[in-house]
Amino acid sequence: MILPQYDGRCGWYEVLNDVSVFPALEGNVNVDTVVVGGGFVGCAAARRLAENQPDGSFLLIEALKVGQGASGRNSGFVIDQPHKRDLESNDNELKRKLLSLNCTAIDYLETQIDRYSIDCQWSHAGKYQAAVGARGQKFLDHYEQLLKGFGEQYQKLSRQELQSIFGTDFYSAAIFTPGGTLMQPAALMRGLADNMPENVRIAEHTAVTRITRTGDGFVLETDQACIKCRQVVLGTNIFTAELGFMRDRILPVMTFASMTKPLTDDQLERYGGQLDWGITPADHAGTTLRMTQDRRIIVRNSYRYAHDYNTPGELLPGVRQRHQQAFDARYPQLKDVKFEYTWGGASSLSGNFETYFGEIEPGIFLSCCDQSVGAARGTISGMMLADMACGKKTQLLADMIEVSGAPSKLPPKPLLRVGVPLRMAAARFASRSEV
Ligand X SMILES: Cc1cc2nc3c(=O)[nH]c(=O)nc-3n(C[C@H](O)[C@H](O)[C@H](O)COP(=O)(O)OP(=O)(O)OC[C@H]3O[C@@H](n4cnc5c(N)ncnc54)[C@H](O)[C@@H]3O)c2cc1C
Binding range to ligand X, per CB under 6 A, among 97-105, 223-231, 330-338, 369-377: 369-377
Stretch that binds ligand X, among 30-38, 211-219, 358-366, 388-396 (CB under 6 A): 30-38
283 binding ligand X? (CB under 6 A): no
- Per-residue contact string for residues 316-355; x = within reach of ligand X by CB under 6 A: -----------------------------x-x--------
Confirm or reject binding of residue 227 to ligand X (CB under 6 A): no
**38 belongs to the binding site for ligand X (CB under 6 A):** yes
Least separation in angstroms between CB 323 and ligand X: 11
Tell me the per-residue interface mask from 140 to 169 with ligand X, x by CB under 6 A, - otherwise: ------------------------------
Residues paired with 30 in a beta bridge: 228
- Determine if 73 is a binding residue for ligand X (CB under 6 A): yes
Q: How far is CA 66 from CA 50, 60, 211, in A?
A: 18, 10, 21
Phi/psi of residue 237, each to 5°? Answer: 50, -130
Which span sits near ligand X by CB under 6 A: 14-22, 76-84, 121-129, 398-406? 76-84
Q: Provide, rounded to whole angstroms, the least separation between the CB of residue 373 and ligand X.
A: 4
Phi, psi of 129 (to 5 degrees): -105, 120
Q: Compute the distance between CA of residue 246 and CA of residue 233 in angstroms, rounded to an integer.
A: 14
Given candidates 235, 252, 281, 407, which one binds ligand X under the rule CB under 6 A?
Answer: 235
Helix spans in 171-239 (H): 185-194
**Phi, psi for residue 432 in degrees, rounded to 5:** -60, -30
Which strand (E) or helix (H) includes residue 137?
helix 134-150
Closer residue to ligand X (CB): 46 or 140: 46
237 binds ligand X (CB under 6 A): yes
From 75, 81, 287, 292, residue interacting with ligand X (rule: CB under 6 A):
75
Which sign, positive or negative, has the C-alpha torsion 88, 90, 95, 96?
A: positive
- Strand ordering across the sheet containing 297-305: 155-158, 173-177, 127-131, 277-281, 288-291, 297-305, 251-260, 339-349
Binding footprint of ligand X, residue count (CB under 6 A)? 41
Angle at 79 between CA 77 and CA 84, to 5 degrees: 115
Residues in the chain: 435
Residue 31 contacts ligand X per CB under 6 A: no
Residue 78 and residue 100: Cα distance in Å, rounded?
Answer: 13
Question: Binding residues for ligand X, per CB under 6 A?
Answer: 3-4, 36-42, 61-64, 69-71, 73-77, 79, 207-208, 235-237, 239, 243, 255, 257, 300, 345, 347, 370, 372-376, 378
